[in-house]
Amino acid sequence: MKSWKKLCLLGTTLFATVGLMAACSSGNKESASDELTFWYMGDGDQGIKPIVDEFTKESGIKVKIQSIPWATSRDKLLTAVASKEGPDVVQMGTTYMSEFVDAGALMDITEDVKKSDSMKSDNFFDGSVATTEFSGQTYAVPWYTETRGLYYRKDLLESVGYQEAPKTWDELADAAKKLAARGDNKYGFGVELKEPTFGFMFARQNGSELFDKNDKPLFNESEMVDALKFLDKLVQDGSAPKTDLGLEIGQSFGGEGVVPMFISGPWMINSIKDSAPDIDGKWGVAELPKGPVNNMSVTGGANLAVFNSSKKKADALKLIEYLSKPENQTKFFESTNSLPTNKKSWEAEVFKSDPLISVFGKQLNDSQPMPLLKQWDEISQNFMKQWEQVVVSGKNLQDAMDELNEQTETLIK
């Protein structure tokens, strides 16, 4: 139901408190300003203003950047949808896409993207493009992304016979067990219990599609159940902690290396450098170990879209096109550490010369977003509840996934 009627329904809760319901029946209001409005999630002055200023200098199009904290961004967007007074260009988190496309909030830019050398889908990683397309139509252009890699302590792995990071599940389990055998309160690998994508990522590495073509969940099929068995075994045999150790990264990964292997994103690089200088040169990042089928990681990030209420579509697309160029995505990385979605950006020296960051560029070729369902957040929360009962309380894994399947079928029918 892509209509303004649905947009009004989406914003009903907010209108109840701010008294804006009348806006739903008033039709579009064209901005009195000639400026293009751009909603940026984060600190716009620090993150994007210098690049946008160059756009204005080149195009003559003035842009008003409004910085919006991520924590309040969804409510802000819902209000904008209902009032039809949103921005011209919006930074849209990939996990928001399904909800706001379904609500009709974002403009269909399929034909514009096809015609543009800068915005065409072939320029970007497949996993990022997947977050912009719904029912065969394109509603955004990938902007920045993130993915996960394997952080590992070189010195400790060498001490148990590994000269490089594990490349398969079997090597990961073997190395983790040997590292855990170093003594009490020492482990080999961190199995994330509170990260909602972790189990699903391993399920994909074991061949699970998570949903079939008719959106029927496949969580209780052998591909996912066996992947979770692999992770649960690491916990139960002591290779991985059973609970959150409550340690800062400098304590868990630095020093003696309580947990010398874990999976995380590029944001962790600076955290380790800052909090664990004692292990400088003793750690690295590698692509994820390959499961029985692949080494698929998970991707996220944000896209750029045109709000459906915009009266400045042509100028809005010019800004998106400018920000999508590889050189400008590289500049954005240099000011924010946000990884480019444009594959050509990764040819810049700043990426090729950094062995830690370059790993994530390689991993992006084998990364996919979580399913783009508006119910996904609730589904992943249900998964974590079941997964915790399996790991901590010994609940039967098959029973847990059967229940998750039933819960999910009820949610999405």
Domains in the chain with CATH codes: 36-147+298-368 (3.40.190.10), 149-297+373-412 (3.40.190.10)
Q: How many other C-beta atoms can be found within 10 angstroms of the C-beta atom of residue 68? A: 18
Bridge partners of 264, per DSSP, are: 149
Q: pLDDT tens digits, residue range 211-221? A: 998 889 999 99
Identity of the residue numbered 242: K
Sort residue 212 into left (φ over 0), alpha (ψ -120 to 50) or beta. beta
DSSP H or E segment with residue 144: strand 141-146
**Reduced to 3 states, what is the DSSP secondary structure of residue 306?**
strand
DSSP 371: P
What is the signed CA dihedral for 59, 56, 70, 378, rounded to 10 degrees?
A: 0
- Maximum CA extent, the chain: 70
Token duo for residue 122: 């072939």
* Verdict on whether the full-model pTM lies above 0.75: yes
pLDDT for the residue numbered 52: 97
Give the phi and the psi of residue 251 in degrees, each rounded to 5.
Answer: -85, -40
- Please enumerate in sequence order all residues whose Cβ is within 8 A of that of 144, keeping only pairs 6 or more positions apart, or say none: 301, 302, 329, 332, 333, 336, 338, 339, 340, 341
Q: Who's near 108: CB < 8 A, 6+ residues apart?
A: 137, 138, 139
The dihedral through the CA atoms of 107, 67, 95, 206 has a sign that is positive
Distance, in Å, from the CA atom of 283 to the CA atom of 154, rounded to the nearest integer, reads 5
Beta bridge pairs of residue 145: 301, 339
Q: What is the rounded CA–CA span in Å between residue 55 and residue 60?
A: 8
CA 254 → CA 156, 271, 354, distances in Å?
A: 11, 11, 21
Intervals of the chain under pLDDT 70:
1-33
CB 96 within 8 A of CB 74: yes
The C-alpha atoms of residue 397 and residue 403 are separated, in whole angstroms, by 10
Joined tokens for residue 87: 């921005």
Q: What is the DSSP letter of 215?
A: -
Q: Distance between CA atoms of 174 and 331, rounded to whole angstroms? A: 41
Calculate the alpha carbon distances from 285 to 52, 60, 163, 338 in Å.
33, 43, 13, 17
The residue among 356, 201, 186 whose CA lies nearest residue 272 is 356
> Angle at the Cα of 144 (from 277 to 260), degrees rounded to 5?
30
pLDDT the model gives residue 229? 98
DSSP state of 242: S
Tokens of 216: 């029927």
| Contact between residue 99 and residue 376 where contact means Cβ atoms under 8 Å apart | no
